[in-house]
Structure 1
Amino acid sequence: MEVIVAKFGGTSVGNGERIRKAAESVVKEYMKGKKVVVVVSAINKTTDDILKIVHEAIGDAVTEKQLADIVSMGETTSVRIFSATIESLGVKSEYIDPHMDNWPVITDSNYINAKVNYELTEEKSKEIMNLLDQGIIPVLCGFLGRDETGNITTLGRGGSDITAFLMGHCLSAEEVIIVTDVGGVMSTDPNKLQSAKKLDKISVEEMRDLATHGAQVLHPHALRYKDPLINAKIIGFEHGDLSALGTEIIGPAGDQMLKTTALNSEPISVIAVVGEEILTKRGILSTLTDTLAENDINIYGISTGQNSVTLFIDKAVADRAHEVLHEVVVNNEYLSSLSLGMEIAMITVTSQDFIDTPGIITKVTEPLRRNKINIVEISSSQTSVVIFVDWNDGKKAYELVRRVLE
């Protein structure tokens, strides 16, 4: 029988009516012959209310162990209500929280931002499968874990989504369904642009980058737990139907969510375009990039300064790029000159861990400094760093950077 994991966010279970609608959607899938595991967040604003009380009553004197135990009350309450609601609909259900022997999510003892012990969690998840085989719908607390000595821990930001993806992997689920207060991933924030449209599909890599830049649908931490072999989608709670169309999350492809380092196989050339205070002149960037696009020339990177724009392109098309951009320069009053420079190696470093790693650029570049390798240019996002060095230094720089990740 097909196993699905359905995670309901706090807004999705924000009141009694919504909890019943969510429970009905679970029972509906159960009646189709599916085995359903439910992961539930704390009821909307419960955790915030608890934290406010803790701050007022205890302040900074509260320990991390105490805090994890206290905030767990939000999830331990919601699973009991949700499970009882399922049983009121005529289907057997059991709630599972970290105080119980069959609790599956085992972590280290970092109470506030615990790391999952995969081996122990996979072993304990067999007990969840036993419940499914008995026709029982298990309802698990999202966000929470338990260390090996029995203390409650929390999984940090995106914790409930982590629980859902983790259970999907451990139970070899067919699908993980994230039920939220939106109908899926939108082309932009619908509160800011009414023309926003729902996406039918989005890759894990795209979703991760979107999340790191402020999208609230999923936390990027949770995406590292997404099994590439398991389907996943985001739907809105208003449908009351787990089969509703939402946004499908594709991937990741192979080990792309792990730390990776890549070195381009062919040299990249640098073209520098200069002009007085061109950064303040409208349309300069678009003129340069449009010209290259019209000539089917790809750009690997752009660096801007007050008086210059530097473009990184394939060496194989550098002469043609130089020629077409020269025409732009001589016909634009704001541009004065351009140059075709050295051959460059491009090293791309990617890891979700960068989001929570202060000083990552220093860690990546320090070995290059020690080995007297000059960095021509560097760019970064919250999950990747791209370094440009002289082509002759490329392989050595690549090996040095790769060792940092290892």
Structure 2
Amino acid sequence: MELIIAKFGGTSIGNGDKIRKAAQSVVNEYMKGNKVVVVLSAINKTTDDLIKIVDDSVDSNISDKQMAEILSMGEMTSVRVMSSVIESFGVKSEYIDPYCDNWPLITDNNLLEAKIDFPASEAMSKHLMKILDQGVIPVVCGFLGKGPNDEITTLGRGGSDITAFLLGHCLNAAEVIIVTDVDGVMSTDPNKIQKAKKLDKISVEEMRDLATHGAQVLHPHALKYKDPLISVKIISHENGDLSNPGTVIVGPYEGEMMKTTMLYPEPISVVAIVGDGMLKRAGLLSKLTTILAKNDINIFGISAGQNSVTVFVNKKDAQDAYHLLHDMVIDCNELSSLSLGKEIAMLTLVSPDFIETPGIISEITDPLRDNNINIVEISSSQTAVVIFIDWEDGNKAFELVKSVIE
């Protein structure tokens, strides 16, 4: 006998037929002798519809408490429907929502982006074991929590996945199954490339990076709650079978992506190439990077403008890069000239929170502006911001911006 946490996303229970198929898959596992805890998202698009109704009717004149209670209606409806369908198959079921005395997820009082209180949640989760031991299938609201004053809270994006992973940890489950609208993790979006293939397995860190950069299968925040001893897999609701292999997420979570601010210890040099026709020349960047790569010159950054390309290399390689790229300029009609700039410093800030922090660039650059530190170049991804500044300003800039992500 094993304990399984089965989390169904909104599209997996998007209509009556899907809900019935999901319930049947749960009952089938129960009939094998396994204990199953079901975690549900709101039925497909319910949360979006609720948000739109609020926006259209109340707009900003609504409190966080009111919003959390309204949003909770999606999950509270889905668990009641699912529990009823499971019982229609002749198996006892009980829905669990934040109004229940045995509600397992306890949080702080941040109503719309609540943080988990692990000790309290672990203690309350034990009540689910009593229900399971009675031969009952509990159906738990995903996404929702209960604050210190019994107020309803929400866990933010990826909340239902967090619920599933947390319950898996607290109940020492054998497996967490994420049921979604794809067969598993694909090599890329199958809606964009038909040749996309399902992966049999993927590491936790790879899954986190994929999710961080836009893959919709699993939210990256949820992965930090994954217990390394618990098997996790992602499967499609289409099969109606929780034993489907799907994609297994392997390996332990090595901890949250480190929030770091780094000042590269050596000076960087800038080589700027200009030319009116460079945007019309296919393969120009490839040629540039190939020339440097063949000569073992590492590129720390590269940016392309309307009539210029700027390359950042280590100062010790600057003269070699300068001469190599000059030869390229001479041989290419679309390029006119190049220059070797002064020494600059490279600051790198890394945080998984950047992806969901509006205005983060301003928070980083405002202190530099206020201290008259000029930014030579800036680039960003969903988890990192890289700033190039004058070398003599490097240490001061580092001290000014490092507190932004602490």
| TM band (smaller chain) | 0.7 to 0.9
Are 1:69 and 2:69 matched, yes or no? yes
Deviation of the 1:141 alpha carbon: 0.4
If the length of structure 2 is used for normalisation, what is the TM-score?
A: 0.83
Distance (whole Å) between structure 2 residues aligned to residue 96 and residue 260 of structure 1:
40
What letter is aligned with 1:168?
G
CA distance in 1, matches of 2:89, 2:44: 23
What corresponds to 2:24 in structure 1? 24
Aligned residue number for residue 39 of structure 1: 39
* Higher mean C-alpha displacement, 183-192 vs 54-63: 54-63
- How far is 1:235 from its partner? 1.7
Counterpart residue identity of residue 338, structure 1: L
TM-score normalised by L of structure 1: 0.83
Other structure's SS at 1:335 match: coil
Map 1:91-170 to 2 at 5 A: 91-132=91-132, 136-170=136-170
Aligned counterparts, 1:152-231, within 5 A: 152-202=152-202, 207=207, 210-211=210-211, 214-223=214-223, 225-226=225-226, 230-231=230-231
SS of residue paired to 2:7? strand
- 1:256-312 deviations in Å (ceiling 9; x for gaps): 435233344555443322223524543222221233344454433211222221222
Distance 1:36 1:265 in 2: 54
Whether the 8 Å CA contact 2:224–2:253 is kept in 1: the answer is no
Encode CA deviations 1:132-154: one digit per residue, 9 max, x unaligned.
45554322101212222222222
Unaligned stretches of 5+ residues in structure 1: none
Specify the alignment match of 2:287 in structure 1: 287
Q: How far is 1:335 from its partner?
A: 1.7
Distance in structure 1 (CA, Å) of the matches to 2:68 and 2:119: 23
Q: Secondary structure at the match of 2:20?
A: helix
Contact persistence 2:205–2:253 (CA under 8 A)? no
C-alpha spacing 1:315/1:26, structure 2 compared with 1 (3 Å) = farther
> Aligned partners of 1:360, 1:58: CA distance in 2, in Å?
29
**Which moves more between the two structures, 175-184 or 369-378?**
369-378
Paired residue type of 2:77:
T
In the alignment, the residues of structure 2 paired with residue 174 and residue 318 of structure 1 have an alpha-carbon distance, to the nearest angstrom, of: 56
Q: Return the offset for 1:404.
A: 2.5
> Residue type of the partner of 2:45?
K
The 1:303–1:152 alpha-carbon spacing in structure 2 relative to 1, beyond 3 Å, is same
Deviation at 1:353, TM superposition (A): 2.2
Q: What SS does the aligned partner of 1:389 have?
A: strand
1:329 alignment partner in structure 2: 329
What residue number does 2:366 align with? 366
Identify the range of structure 1 (69-78 vs 57-66) with the bigger mean alpha-carbon deviation: 57-66
Deviation at 1:99, TM superposition (A): 0.5
CA distance in 1 between partners of 2:272 and 2:245 (Å): 48
1:191-246 residue CA offsets vs partner (Å, 9 max, x unmatched): 33323333444555655565555543334444454456654332211122333233
Within 2, Cα distance between the matches of 1:208 and 1:282? 34
Flag the 1:183–1:307 CA change in 2: closer, same or farther, 3 A: same
The alignment-based identity, stated in percent, is 67
Q: CA deviation at 1:119?
A: 3.8
Q: Compare 335-344 and 378-387 and name the one that shifted more.
A: 335-344
Quick one: distance in 1 between partners of 2:402 and 2:210? 26
CA distance in 2, matches of 1:93, 1:250: 31
Q: Which amino acid aligns with 2:13?
A: V
CA contact (8 A) 2:142 2:164 kept: yes
**What's the CA shift string for 1:136-195, capped at 9, x where partnerless?**
432210121222222222223332223223333434445432211112233443333323
Note closer, same or farther for the CA distance 1:58–1:265 as it changes in structure 2 (3 Å cut).
closer
| Deviation of 1:333 (Å) | 1.0
Equivalent residue, structure 2, for 1:273: 273
Q: CA deviation at 1:78?
A: 1.9
The 8 Å contact of residues 368 and 400 in structure 1, kept in 2 or not, is answered as: yes
- Are the aligned partners of 1:224 and 1:257 in contact in 2 as well (CA < 8 Å)? no
For residues 158 and 209 of structure 1, the distance between their equivalents in structure 2, rounded to whole angstroms, comes to 15
Residue by residue over 1:81-139, the C-alpha shift from the partner in whole angstroms, topping out at 9 and shown as x without a partner, is 32344445555443211110111222334444433333432332233344445554322
